[in-house]
Amino acid sequence: MLESYIKERLKTKDILLMTHIVIGYPSFETSHEIVKQMVEAGVDLMELQIPFSEPMADGPVILKANQKAIEKGSTVKKCFEFAQRVSKEFSIPFLFMSYANILYKYGMEQFSDKMAQINLKGAIVPDLPPEEGKNYIRAMKKNELSPIYIFSPETSDERLAYLSSFASGFVYCLARKGVTGKETAFSIEISDYFSRCRKATNLPLAVGFGVKEKADVDYLKGKADIAVIGSQTIRIVEEKGVAATGDFIRSIL
């Protein structure tokens, strides 16, 4: 199970690293090379985003990557094929990240069944709260997959505890409200928020939204279990090319 994998890895590491790619951006073969470089550089787990036309939690960098991937022909079927390929080839856990419309259209149970068949470990669906996701939660539980729920600095203690009751694997803590890819000030205020998150769940804590350099990852050590880097890796690919991906990951570990 995902939670036990994370806790086992934490016995020998101060913090784990989870990265994010948009499947099919800039192309499927390039996506595969990015995954390969990240895994070889030491990434512990990875989000594979199924492109969606209106990714509401994502900022301009990931939004553009979603749009470009769709324009170039990235479909849900092709994303499943890609996920099956990398989950066979690499030993780290992979999770899907996408939006509820895609799961509804595919069929919640069918989507979960297919994930289990290709050895994915969980899913992050930002716009599917537990109140609207009973079928999703049931399907994930049936297949022993982890539905990853999201905490934010604006979430009340009561809501944190409620979300935690449905979560599995780990909890994704947003370092700030808003969308991905913007600046985040890692400060005492954020440290207090992380303490609230820790009290709300026994699951490992992943922190993302604004993590982009070694100093951010170092700050999170002792406060979180997983640092999540998304937009910055896409920027690196766009600015320096795919070959720079592995070196970037090594520079922040």
Could you tell me the CATH number of the domain that includes residue 28? 3.20.20.70
Please tell me the predicted confidence (pLDDT) of residue 78.
Answer: 98
The Cα–Cα gap between 97 and 125 comes to 6
The number of distinct structural domains making up the chain is: 1
Please tell me the predicted confidence (pLDDT) of residue 173.
Answer: 95
pTM above 0.85, yes or no: yes
Rounded to 5 degrees, φ, ψ at 139 are -65, -40
Please tell me the predicted confidence (pLDDT) of residue 179.
Answer: 40
Q: Could you give the residue numbers annotated as active site?
A: 47, 58
Q: Which long-range contacts (CB under 8 A, 24 or more apart) does 126-134 make?
A: 126/56, 126/57, 126/99, 126/150, 127/56, 127/57, 127/99, 127/100, 128/99, 128/100, 128/103, 130/162, 130/163, 130/166, 132/100, 133/100
Please tell me the predicted confidence (pLDDT) of residue 177.
Answer: 46
Please tell me the predicted confidence (pLDDT) of residue 104.
Answer: 96
pLDDT tens for each residue of the chain, 253 residues long = 899 999 999 999 999 999 999 999 999 999 999 999 999 999 999 999 999 987 676 778 888 999 999 999 999 999 999 999 999 999 999 999 999 999 999 999 999 999 999 999 999 999 999 999 999 999 999 999 999 999 999 999 999 999 999 999 999 999 854 444 344 455 566 888 999 999 999 999 999 988 889 999 999 999 999 999 988 999 999 999 999 999 999 999 8
**By 3-state DSSP, what share of the chain in percent is helix, strand and coil, each rounded to 5?**
50, 15, 35
Please tell me the predicted confidence (pLDDT) of residue 189.
Answer: 67
Residue 132 is classified by DSSP as G
The Cα–Cα gap between 236 and 11 comes to 30
Rg for the chain (alpha carbons), in Å?
A: 17
CB neighbour list of residue 172: distance below 8 Å, 6 or more residues apart: 124, 148, 149, 150, 151, 206, 208, 228
- Tally: H helices and E strands in the chain: 12, 8
Rounded to 5 degrees, φ, ψ at 230 are -120, -75
Domain that holds residue 77: 2-252
Q: Would you state the structure tokens that stand for residue 122, as one six-digit string?
A: 């969980």
The Cα–Cα gap between 20 and 45 comes to 9
